[in-house]
A and B are shown apart, each in its own frame.
Chain A
Amino acid sequence: MAKIIVVTSGKGGVGKTTTSAAIGTGLALRGFKTVIVDFDVGLRNLDLIMGCERRVVYDFVNLINGDSNLNQTLIKDKRCDKLFILPASQTRDKDALTEDGVERVLNELKETFDYIVCDSPAGIEKGAHLAMYFADEAVVVTNPEVSSVRDSDRMLGLLASKSRHAEKGEKIREHLLLTRYNPARVANGEMLSVTDVEDILSIPLLGVIPESQAVLKASNQGVPVIMDETSDAGQAYSDAVSRLLGEDVPHRFLEAEKKGLLQRLFGGR
């Protein structure tokens, strides 16, 4: 049975698309047939992060309107044969996504895929609502920063009331993913710590992704950061995917790197 996972946050720019790309790719690399669906109609970006922007022919809205079929619309990843991308439409029409249409497409995807990862747009408008409405699990992406934490809490409220599972009286499995974490600043008392954010949001922690140069490097190249296996962020995402699959993996990258004596004396970051 296919599982629908929504990657959401409320606030923009916290790393939803980076996370969708990383988690979707991670699941596919472990042998699960996975599709990542971009719900950000009008502001498509998943294709760029995945490096398939020049292969987009049809999109989500074409599929809903019946202008194209699934085979024509899905883009198969060139690096991993279990991975597919469903690009968002660049139309300016905000109402292009309909509940019926989205449900139809998701049901069709469920027949052949193990995991459907929905990359939610920022905000709480229609796109964000539809991205989470059919979800079985939610990954709430949060930065250790006040506005992001507050918006995440708001999203948790919406997940608990305005999703199909909630309407049936069931609960969506929620996961907290803390991104852009800077352990050195946490140690200095300049940034909310993992436990601070866990205390406030009180949902299980899926992972902590350190603030990393590898993320920008990966997006420059159109390669999901999880494929950079030597990078801290790539490894942290890989751990998060393991936990999503039920493995018990200890958290890494929570402590600042210890500086050597010379570095301490003469500064430098």
Chain B
Amino acid sequence: MSIFDYFRDRKKPTTTASMAKERLQIIVAHERGQRTQPDYLPQLQQEIIDVISKYVKIDREQVHVALENQDDCSILELNITLPERP
């Protein structure tokens, strides 16, 4: 740093370090959320879809599987939208 830097280098409003922190906080929180999810969930979803499609024609997007943890209790939430009756 020399005397000339004092004229150029006024503190910028957002530093690159604060951008780094913000991005990290978001991605780390997201990845921690996925970590608590058991790895059988995608397969479970697929098998549920397979069973249902034996009886009704459904889309993959119409089945939602979510696992929620509340204290020492886990809730498996299944949300299936059946097609409208013809």
**Which residues does A use to contact B, with CB under 8 Å?**
145-146, 149-150, 153-154, 157, 161, 186, 188-193, 196, 199-200, 259, 264-267
Contacts and interface: CB of A to CB of B under 8 A. Distances in A.
Given A157-B32, A265-B3, A189 B18 contact: yes
Identify whether the interface residues of A are mostly helix, strand, loop, or mixed.
helix
A189 B16 contact: yes
Given A154-B31, A266-B2, A267-B2, A146 B15 contact: no
A34 B17 CA distance: 38
A190 B32 contact: no
B35 A157 contact: yes
A74 B27 CA distance: 43
23 contacts: A146-B20, A146-B23, A146-B24, A150-B24, A154-B31, A157-B31, A161-B35, A189-B11, A189-B16, A189-B17, A190-B15, A190-B17, A191-B17, A192-B20, A192-B21, A193-B17, A199-B21, A199-B25, A200-B25, A259-B1, A264-B2, A264-B3, A267-B1
B85 interface: no
A157 B29 CA distance: 12
Interface string B24-39: 1101100110010000
Identify whether the interface residues of B are mostly helix, strand, loop, or mixed.
helix
Contacts of B15: 188-190
A190 B27 contact: no
A265 B28 contact: no
| Nearest 7 Cβ contacts at the A-B interface | A189-B15, A267-B2, A196-B21, A157-B35, A189-B17, A153-B28, A265-B3
A97 B17 CA distance: 40
B10 interface: no
B8 interface: no
B57 to A, nearest CB: 39
Residue in B3, B21, B23 whose Cβ sees the most chain A Cβ within 10 Å: B21
A153 to B, nearest CB: 5
A193 B21 CA distance: 9
Contacts of A186: 17
Given A149-B24, A189-B15, A264-B3, 17 more contacts: A146-B23, A150-B27, A150-B28, A150-B31, A154-B31, A157-B31, A161-B35, A189-B12, A190-B15, A191-B17, A192-B21, A193-B17, A199-B21, A264-B1, A265-B2, A265-B3, A267-B2
A265 B5 CA distance: 10
Nearest to A146: B20
B17 A192 contact: yes
A189 B16 CA distance: 6
Contacts of B23: 146
Contact of A196 (B2, B17, B27, B35): B17
A124 to B, nearest CB: 13
A200 B24 contact: yes
A26 B11 CA distance: 41
A186 B6 CA distance: 18
A189 B15 CA distance: 5
B13 to A, nearest CB: 10
B82 to A, nearest CB: 37
Nearest to B3: A265
A153 B18 CA distance: 18
